[in-house]
Amino acid sequence: MYNFVSLKRVLFFIFFLSVSIVKGQNLSDQQSQDSVVLSVLTCGTGTSEVYQAFGHTAVRVKNFTTGSDIVYNYGMFNFYEEGFLRKFIQGKLLYFVGVEHFDQFIGDYLLYGRSIREQVLNLDKHQVETLETALANNALPENRYYLYDFIYNNCSTQPRDLIRKAIGSDFEFAHLSTENSETIREMIDRHMTYNEWLDFGIDLLLGARLDRKADSDTRMFLPYELMVEFDSTQYHGKPIVKDSRILYHGFEQSKPNMPSPDLVFWSILFLVLLLQIFFTNSTLNKVLSISFLTIVGIVGWILVFMWWGTDHYMTKWNFNLLWAMPLYFPLAFFIPKMGKMLSGFVNFHRIIYILLLVFWCCNPQQYHSGVIPIILILIWSLGVFISPSHQVE
């Protein structure tokens, strides 16, 4: 089966590569009259890797005089860079713009079945020269690296800003009805339907700044939204996109076959309640409670580190810390020995959890729905230590 799938992908790759090259070379007569044609490439989403989930943007420069056909590819990084994982976690990893031949660029997208759409820009000779020079200068070794930001400085916003500057100081993207219609988190959620666990992780790690309404500029952090903006924008009475075509339609992406976080956490809560009903073993309940509180405490310390120990802009002001309280680790191990003096501490935290549930919709940060059963489990876990049967004199 594996060999069959691999062979099928190779055949897809060979076939669509040849088709794409033909399409790329057979431009319209109007376009081929220009010595240089610049276009925006928007690549569809993928499910094989996390970084494929939001699509990709690149800029193609085809020169009919020299025969060159290159792509400026932003958002690239080196897995083998020294200290890669540490820099990535701390938000200090430098991304870069790469330059590759068009045939090489589309290879991975064809292989993984990710769609490719091309928008040929409607630019005059001066604008083409300005943008081509800016791209080449940006790709120089001393200029190619930049500090990546998931929302404000990524593979979509970098080429957008270069193109906008090259067109002219009076150029503006169209203001669409979608502007300020949803938050950044809601936009991300639309791309996470294929993997609820990835969605849960994003909602957990990224703070309240993600719940701001996305204006026109912010929406363009997604390649698809940038593509829509180009389609909708005119400059001096003319569409900024001269021609648009699908180079490759792609195919349906596979989805992980796993239970959702909601199902997992509600199931855990159900099992906990069953144990509470049918087993009165206080030792078992204490072990479970300490385990839950410890795990949540560790999660809390991770959130604290992401807030104060990294340069990531979106991990600040994370109100998940209202339920993922770091003090539970290592405090959970000492709670059983605190006796009646514990009741005030526990009741205070349980009140916080109840308020989080009651005012769920009023929270300045949108929690993942899987947090509801987690909070209920925490209420139960704390309650174990203040019930009369578990008091220690």
Average pLDDT over residues 317-330: 94
pLDDT at 108 over 90: no
Q: Which CATH number fits domain 2-179+215-248: 3.90.1720, 2.40.50, 1.10.357, 2.60.120?
A: 3.90.1720
Q: Domain residue spans in the chain?
A: 2-179+215-248, 261-390
Q: Output the pLDDT for position 341.
A: 64
Residues 30-53: tens digit of each pLDDT: 445 568 999 999 999 888 777 788
Looking at per-residue pLDDT, the higher value among 213 and 4 belongs to 213
Q: What's the rounded Cα separation, in Å, for the pair 70 and 4?
A: 33
Which of 57-66, 104-113, 249-258 is modeled with the greatest confidence? 57-66
Q: What's the rounded Cα separation, in Å, for the pair 204 and 375?
A: 14
Average pLDDT over residues 183-192: 93
Residues 366-376: tens digit of each pLDDT: 999 999 999 99
Q: Which neighbouring-strand residues pair with 42?
A: 57, 117
Average confidence score pLDDT of the chain:
87
Q: What's the rounded Cα separation, in Å, for the pair 196 and 380?
A: 25
Q: What is the pTM of this model?
A: 0.85
Q: Output the pLDDT for position 268.
A: 96
Band (172; pLDDT cuts 50, 70, 90): very high
Q: Output the pLDDT for position 134.
A: 95
pLDDT at 192 over 50: yes
pLDDT at 18 over 60: no
Q: Output the pLDDT for position 252.
A: 77
Asked whether the beta carbons of 382 and 349 are under 8 A apart, the reply is yes
Band (339; pLDDT cuts 50, 70, 90): low
Residue 12 class from Cβ within 10 Å (0-12 exposed, 13-18 middle, 19+ buried)? Answer: middle
Q: Output the pLDDT for position 12.
A: 52
pLDDT at 328 over 60: yes
- Percentage of residues in the chain having pLDDT higher than 90: 63
Band (21; pLDDT cuts 50, 70, 90): very low
Band (343; pLDDT cuts 50, 70, 90): confident
Average pLDDT over residues 122-132: 94
Q: What's the rounded Cα separation, in Å, for the pair 308 and 320?
A: 14
Looking at per-residue pLDDT, the higher value among 204 and 389 belongs to 204
Q: Output the pLDDT for position 340.
A: 62
pLDDT at 1 over 80: no
pLDDT at 26 over 60: no
Band (356; pLDDT cuts 50, 70, 90): very high
